[in-house]
Structure 1
């Protein structure tokens, strides 16, 4: 294994390793990246993984992010003469994996680019030069010689519409790009420390794959035809070698749970236009947090019959406005027309612009949907500048509002069960009254909590139950920091009333509330009885809540003679 460092301040390094017979991994390590293409933050950086397979012919699987251009190309030339590369396999065309395709074509114009039909179409718009190509679909093979027969598995929408997986029969390696990946940067090439990577693996799934749970299950079904997978050579994070079966099984379990949701929202976007894919992903993440399923569809490559069927069975629709002009104008216009024709009264409709520079206007189309009897799901999201963290938070919260609106009937059923003796008995479990506050970068959040319990002496720690659909849940991942504000008996009503309000998406939770900044950056409520500064250590999933265990790093009491406010419920099926 060889590591090639560069200037420390950039923290960009390269790592190469022989991972199987005739197979070399080239990993671009991005140590300090703290945000990725969509709204979620990164605790541990990320990597961009590329691979060389040498048979009688040679294949390069994916490239790297353009920020690694010189580093990656230098390492690649040190491993192989680019003129000897016969095939360039494109798992999908998202820029963090295909950002250097144009450079490879310049160095090796003889290569044949191998990809799905949609991927080749996207590349044509991206590289703007002729290239040899080979379109593949599930079951197709490519024989490199020396037993290295590559078999392809279609995996559309994981998480782009053009994704394919590549299986090498000789080594039983499965090259998966985004699938089974994680944003986790370390010197460890493989997944030997499962405990260390578990939170990032799950969070990555929630953000990128959960909105495509049906597509995940379809891809897993196609993978069953493979002879056996001994290693997953993914596109981000450590490769899966020690926990392959377990981590694939988790994808199946999580996706089966998500796909059983009673209601579904269709999210339509344009994958390579403006910030459409990132914004749609943020909205989808907010929806799935509420237990509502999401199916994402690229307007450029959507099949009209599939669109009609999907809209017909969905409870909600979200549309990212397509461009008014361009090479795919006919396709996007057809898709929009199909959506409008298939829409039904009582469905919810939400819309967003993507800052593509040529977005179709929202209002005329929204009016048509409203005239058809649809209900506006959230205020239309109009992007006028490069999306900020606050915009992505607005998008996620808008999705959560939509999901909660679709789940209201389920909550009504819960409320009607108050005569149940079991619910009455559970309701007799009392708790204190607390307000959790968090700030991360430019994002902030708060929530009223009562399910809090001390859990350890050394280090001092406690658990708090956070509903999956709470906006602040995204700020309480492993490694995140927050403040637990403890409310005072007889002096909590004003704070409780404020934080019980339903805030519109993107609203400032702390407007009109006296705060000061904790050492960890989160707000302290000045009128609280006491506060504890905390760091999330682990999370355990329950059916509709996350149990978050945190260690306490600092704290203070403002009035040592006062008592903690206590919350008593009559029933145990709602707060």
Structure 2
């Protein structure tokens, strides 16, 4: 393995390593990246992985982010003369994987770009020049010679509509781009140990793949028709070789659980316009936190007859505003969508922020004229989306999901045996408020399921419902504060944080706080506080049990007692 720069000198580094016969990876290591689209507060940076396959002919699978331009091109030219590369396989066209396509075409104008039909359409709008292209789909073959026969698998919506997988029969490597990836930066190339990376693997799935669970299952099914898979070469994070069955099994399990939901929301977006794809993904993530299934639909690539089949199955629709003068395909799709919607369906709207958006009020008026119920205030994006905007999208999606499932939730609470319900309710707990701040994002919630769990190090567990807004801010490595309420003096704080905050609302308006050393708010009127860091998370049906290590804390009144919460029933708060 050759390191081209030292981490201590430059937080952008690149490594080159042989991973199989005639096959090398160029891994661009972005050590300090702290946010990636809707994945907030990355703890371990990320990588952008590219692969060089040399048979009688040569193929490059993906390139890198443009921030790595010089590092990447220098490394590539150290391996091969770019004019000797026959094919550039574009797994999908997001800039972190295709950002150097124009540079490669400048070095080698005879390069043939290989991609799905949709990918090549997107690239036409990105490179703005003529180039040789080869369209592929599931079952297409590209023979590089010396046994390197490449077979392609269509994998739309993982997580863009243009995604393809590439399988090399000679090395039994499957190149999957975003799928099975994670944002984890390390000089270790492969998944040698599960423990250090499984939290990042799950978080990545929840943010990007969970809202596309049906597409995940379809891709897994198509993978079965390929030969043996020894390595999954992902676009982000370590390559998967040592625990393949575990990783693919988790994708299967999580996706099956998600698609079993009886309620489905369609999220309609325009993949290559403005920030439509990222905003839609954030809203979809919020919806899935409630256990509602999501169907992601790209208005640019979906045929009207397919819309007819999809819309009838939906309980709700989320629509991103199209351009002021949308292409005919989008205009037709939008008209079809509104014509098919019925008055029993809820709708949510968001501004894609593409620079020339149709006013969102015009689309809102059309939805109301169609008799649709508006589930959350339209999300108006007036500038490049910030962390706060993505959090607003996430919370709006959760509100929509909760609104659609509220009747089922009430029915479920009533279904538990009354004696058991009352007995379970006799488990008491203290009263606490969790507070967290990360960049522009904030969160708070009233908690009572808190238990000390260890002496060395000092630690405790807290149960956080999956649909709580603060859950996003309590990933492994995140800091937060546990504020302990005082007996006889907890009502004002409890009343405030029991309120149902609208999406994007300031949880701390009117509350006295000061900033903790980890950046999270400390409630001045609390009895005591503990500054904590999330060490691990365990999934428990509708909650996450979070284990946190305590770093510091203080009591304001040593003689006071903790407020205690006594419930009458045990099947809801």
The two structures have a TM-score, normalised by structure 2, of 0.99
Alpha-carbon deviation of 1:424? Answer: 1.6
Q: Which residue matches 2:125?
A: 125
Q: Which residue matches 1:541?
A: 539
Tell me if the contact between 2:143 and 2:150 (Cα under 8 Å) persists in the aligned partners.
yes
Residues in 1 aligned to 2:75 and 2:321: alpha-carbon distance in whole angstroms: 41
Q: Which residue matches 1:369?
A: 367
SS, match of residue 167 in structure 1: strand
Q: Is the aligned partner of 1:423 residue 2:410? A: no
Tell me if the contact between 2:321 and 2:363 (Cα under 8 Å) persists in the aligned partners.
no
Tell me if the contact between 2:39 and 2:204 (Cα under 8 Å) persists in the aligned partners.
no
Q: Which residue matches 1:447?
A: 445
Q: From the superposition, tell whether residues 71 and 518 of structure 1 become closer, same or farther in structure 2 (CA, over 3 Å).
A: same
Alpha-carbon deviations, 1:494-553, whole Å to 9, x = none? 000000000011100000001111111111111111111100000000110000000000
More deviation, 35-44/57-66: 35-44
Q: From the superposition, tell whether residues 441 and 10 of structure 1 become closer, same or farther in structure 2 (CA, over 3 Å).
A: farther
Q: Which residue matches 1:336?
A: 334
Residues in 2 aligned to 1:29 and 1:458: alpha-carbon distance in whole angstroms: 34
Residues in 1 aligned to 2:17 and 2:345: alpha-carbon distance in whole angstroms: 52
Q: Which residue matches 1:58?
A: 58
Q: Which residue matches 1:258?
A: 258
Q: Which residue matches 2:483?
A: 485
Q: Is the aligned partner of 1:351 residue 2:349? A: yes
SS, match of residue 280 in structure 1: helix
More deviation, 64-73/2-11: 2-11
Residues in 1 aligned to 2:553 and 2:360: alpha-carbon distance in whole angstroms: 49
Equivalences for residues 46-195 of structure 1 within 5 A: 46-195=46-195
Residues in 1 aligned to 2:294 and 2:77: alpha-carbon distance in whole angstroms: 43
Alpha-carbon deviation of 1:398? Answer: 0.7
Q: Residue 518 of structure 2: which of 513, 520, 523 is its match? A: 520
Tell me if the contact between 1:488 and 1:562 (Cα under 8 Å) persists in the aligned partners.
yes
Q: CA RMSD in A?
A: 1.1
SS, match of residue 407 in structure 1: helix
Gaps of 5+ in 1: none
Alpha-carbon deviations, 1:167-198, whole Å to 9, x = none? 00011000000000000001110000210000
Gaps of 5+ in 2: none
Tell me if the contact between 1:418 and 1:571 (Cα under 8 Å) persists in the aligned partners.
no
Alpha-carbon deviations, 1:340-388, whole Å to 9, x = none? 1110112111111121111122222222222222110111011111111
Q: Which residue matches 2:323?
A: 323
Residues in 2 aligned to 1:523 and 1:571: alpha-carbon distance in whole angstroms: 32
Tell me if the contact between 2:13 and 2:30 (Cα under 8 Å) persists in the aligned partners.
yes
Alpha-carbon deviation of 1:6? Answer: 6.1
Q: Which residue matches 2:44?
A: 44
Residues in 1 aligned to 2:116 and 2:358: alpha-carbon distance in whole angstroms: 28
Tell me if the contact between 2:271 and 2:277 (Cα under 8 Å) persists in the aligned partners.
yes
Q: From the superposition, tell whether residues 195 and 306 of structure 1 become closer, same or farther in structure 2 (CA, over 3 Å).
A: same
Q: Which residue matches 2:294?
A: 294
Alpha-carbon deviation of 1:37? Answer: 2.0
SS, match of residue 496 in structure 1: helix
Alpha-carbon deviation of 1:338? Answer: 1.2
Residues in 1 aligned to 2:143 and 2:315: alpha-carbon distance in whole angstroms: 46
Q: Is the aligned partner of 1:234 residue 2:245? A: no
Tell me if the contact between 2:209 and 2:216 (Cα under 8 Å) persists in the aligned partners.
yes
Residues in 2 aligned to 1:119 and 1:95: alpha-carbon distance in whole angstroms: 12
Tell me if the contact between 1:467 and 1:544 (Cα under 8 Å) persists in the aligned partners.
yes
Equivalences for residues 23-38 of structure 1 within 5 A: 23-38=23-38
Q: Which residue matches 1:570?
A: 568
The two structures have a TM-score, normalised by structure 1, of 0.98
Q: Which residue matches 1:217?
A: 217
SS, match of residue 369 in structure 1: helix
SS, match of residue 186 in structure 1: coil
Q: From the superposition, tell whether residues 361 and 9 of structure 1 become closer, same or farther in structure 2 (CA, over 3 Å).
A: farther
Alpha-carbon deviation of 1:419? Answer: 5.2
SS, match of residue 305 in structure 1: helix
Tell me if the contact between 1:139 and 1:153 (Cα under 8 Å) persists in the aligned partners.
yes
Alpha-carbon deviation of 1:99? Answer: 0.4
Equivalences for residues 192-211 of structure 1 within 5 A: 192-211=192-211
SS, match of residue 266 in structure 2: strand
Q: From the superposition, tell whether residues 397 and 141 of structure 1 become closer, same or farther in structure 2 (CA, over 3 Å).
A: same
Q: How many residues align?
A: 573
Alpha-carbon deviations, 1:123-166, whole Å to 9, x = none? 01110111111111111111100000000010000000000000
Alpha-carbon deviations, 1:171-226, whole Å to 9, x = none? 10000000000000011100002100000000000000000000000010111101
Q: Which residue matches 2:508?
A: 510
Residues in 1 aligned to 2:325 and 2:165: alpha-carbon distance in whole angstroms: 32
Q: Is the aligned partner of 1:384 residue 2:388? A: no
Q: From the superposition, tell whether residues 58 and 186 of structure 1 become closer, same or farther in structure 2 (CA, over 3 Å).
A: same
SS, match of residue 307 in structure 2: helix
Alpha-carbon deviations, 1:430-479, whole Å to 9, x = none? 11100000111121110000000000000000000000000000000000
Tell me if the contact between 1:39 and 1:389 (Cα under 8 Å) persists in the aligned partners.
no
Q: Residue 399 of structure 1: which of 397, 400, 403 is its match? A: 397
